[in-house]
Structure 1
């Protein structure tokens, strides 16, 4: 009886595994776009609040204007630090430096982004006194190298 159960179970597994979708799948568009659509910059700081005996990190998004230089895949950023407000006090604002910010981006659908050389990973602090390069790879494998540089920083 046990042998029949094992054979029945094995047959059921084979049927289920054989039933994987192999045919009749819809054809989806091959995503071939590898752009950086937007760039955001923020400053992170301790808010003065404590949660579970640890300081709460707050952030202040900076005002960013971008200019895409068409032929060179370069994005020029003009950054303006907003006025003090809430936990983003004048004291905190005065500590903000261009060489210790966080940058994140919107990229094309189904693409992935990777730093080139010593460029920091997105989500890590970045020194925006330097220009950085990132490679954006579309879903179809086409890659494009983008250069991000700050041309104006107003505090």
Structure 2
């Protein structure tokens, strides 16, 4: 009887511990409807009609307000790993000065850039100081009048 109880408890403990290792998928950003996205036509639509059809964009151009971006991304994750992008769709709509659609472009997952940081510290130019030089180096250099180096107002 005890071996059956032990086996049951071991199976229960294993299933509970492995339950946290399941993978999951997630949709992020704009949910792309292909029929609505393909309905946007160059020369026919303007900013108001695009907003009625697709809604507000995910973001606008940083240097040009006449570029709207709709970004959709699907990711998958296993356990506690970093999410991996499985699908990405970026719809860029460009407008002319009058607010009419001048171009519609699509890109996908190929535009994702992976940036690796350089080590654990940022390289700097100049002299390297020790901890004590950094800590005690500013004593007497902040100012000469009063506490804290502030000059009294007259």
Indicate the TM-score class for this superposition, using the shorter chain for normalisation. under 0.3
Give me the TM-score of the superposition, normalised by structure 1: 0.23
Structure 1 or 2, whichever has the larger Rg, is 2
Higher strand share: 1
Higher RCO (CA 8 Å, separation ≥ 6 residues):
1
Q: TM-score, normalised by structure 2?
A: 0.23
Higher helix proportion: 2
